[in-house]
Amino acid sequence: MNVVVQVLNFISQEILNVPAYLIGIVAVIGLIALRRNAGQVISGGLKAAMGYLILGAGATVVTSALTPFGELVLKSTGAHGVVPTNEVITAQASSQFGASSAYIIVLSFIVMLLLARFTPLKYVFLTGHHMVFMSTMLAVVLSVGFGARNQWLIVLIGAVLMGVIMVVMPAFAQPFMNRITGSDKLSIGHFNTLSYIVSGAVGAAVGKKSKSTEDINFPKGLSFLRDSMVSTTLLMVVLYLVFAVWAAIVLPAKTAFSIFTSHPANYGSFFMAAFAQALQFGIGVSIILYGVRIILGELVPAFQGIANRVVPGARPALDIPIVFPYGANASLIGFLSSFVGGLVALSIIAVWFGPVWGMALILPGMVPHFFDGGGAGVFGNATGGRRGTIVGGFINGLLITFLPAMLMTVMGSFGLANSTFGDSDFCWFGTAVGNFTHLGVVGGAVSLLVFAAALFAAAALWQVKVVNKGWLPAAEHVSFIEATKAQEKADREAARAARLAAKEASGKSA
């Protein structure tokens, strides 16, 4: 038994927990299925893996730049509470639930592949670190509800639940992804999908006649802001320096200096460290976008082979940065709107929900608000333009604050930890699973299987009746935007023709 556990731990932690390896393996399988030669297979697999590593390197740079910014905000405002961080809560739970999590992640991957092969939900979830987070969350919640003695029941139920959620959520989000990308080749494989769907739906409702964030018209003197790397970095410079000044005013010098441990000497170094971190943020975003381009260039062609031979019609479900190139401005605006939404939700919990219901105080973490809020902004922009981006990002901020507080109520002793899972799908799914386990071992197990079957049936019906028939959200809004762009182009061409005619006429009269 120990050998089996060790093997499963190796597979889950050393292979499936490394998205780059998983992406590379999938690319190799697809290229082999396309009958590419050995050189093309090796090259494609390596480039796909390296593209994901580049994406991860960019995410690491962004995270390291956002961490001190989060400290600036929280220490300056004096906020205290729980910061949702998937990596932290997973590390805390791994010593107690690592074996169950390892079994769940491996078996759930098999369940997912079988569902993708033999059902209408042709999605292959490839975001390895989110698979680890989901398996850990299910191991914790199911163990709290069923008791650690029922390990095999926990593993089997957890594997079914996780395999289902990995094909269900991409299906529900697919029409919005089709709207964003302009094709049906990519899916979203990130467990904040509920927020993305809500953002896209709200964008369609509120964003009629709202222009895209990517069509922002800058004055001629500010045309340099059209470069997303420049505009993103400049905004972060402003935000960083504003909070650095605030921290310098309200905090003792020693506390303020400790935020940037590499520049502890004086306030001059303190402000320059804030400036440097803002530049690092811009660099990180640029690296992410470059990595996304490499992944798309290698993985999408390889998936044609998988679609043709292994899982007919399969779509790769990838991490959320995959959508950032489709809305660079939207991702930044969504991040800021999400952060504002998190602050509003924090205030509501502090004033009302906390005192009345004992709800935990969830602080806004910069990393989830950047990635989740940025993704929500892109989804909202695709269906509702600028208004959709702002409102969708704001609602994402509310969701990833309220939902983690609800999840903590079903996590047993881990509900008292200093961290929790932060993305919306971990929270709503985990809360539902935890409440079903209260029905007892038999009643809870049966109820969870029925719950999984109901989710799967709803997603399959959505896939057949909606996705496969080509429905796209916000068709009227997009038609209006396209018509507006066509009219603007016609007006520019007419004005140009008028200027040429006037020039010719003045030349003849002369």
Q: Where are the domains of the chain?
A: 2-473, 474-510
Q: At residue 317, what are phi and psi to the nearest 5 degrees?
A: -100, 110
pTM: 0.78
Count of CA atoms in the C-beta half-sphere (13 A) of 35: 2
Residues 6+ positions from 352 with CB-CB distance below 8 Å:
none
Q: What is the pLDDT along the chain (510 residues), one digit of tens a residue?
A: 577 777 777 776 677 666 677 778 877 887 887 788 888 888 888 888 888 778 668 777 877 777 787 777 777 766 666 777 777 777 777 768 877 887 888 788 889 989 999 999 999 888 877 887 898 899 999 998 888 788 889 999 999 999 999 999 999 999 999 999 988 888 999 999 999 999 999 999 998 877 888 877 656 665 555 565 776 677 778 878 888 888 888 878 777 777 776 544 455 677 888 888 888 878 887 787 777 677 667 766 776 666 667 788 888 898 898 998 898 889 889 988 998 999 899 888 888 876 666 677 787 777 788 889 999 999 999 999 999 999 999 999 999 999 998 898 888 776 555 668 889 999 999 999 999 998 989 999 999 999 999 999 999 999 999 999 989 987 665 555 555 555 556 556 666 766 666 666 666 555
Owner of token pair 């956002």: 66
Q: Mention every residue, 6+ apart, whose C-beta is less than 8 A from residue 424.
A: 191, 192, 193, 194, 195, 372, 396, 399, 400, 403
- By DSSP bridging, strand 315-318 and strand 187-188 are parallel
What DSSP string runs through 67-86? HHHHHHHHHHHT--SB---H
| Helix intervals (H) in 349-440 | 354-357, 366-407, 424-437
Cα–Cα distance, 262 to 265 (Å, whole number): 9
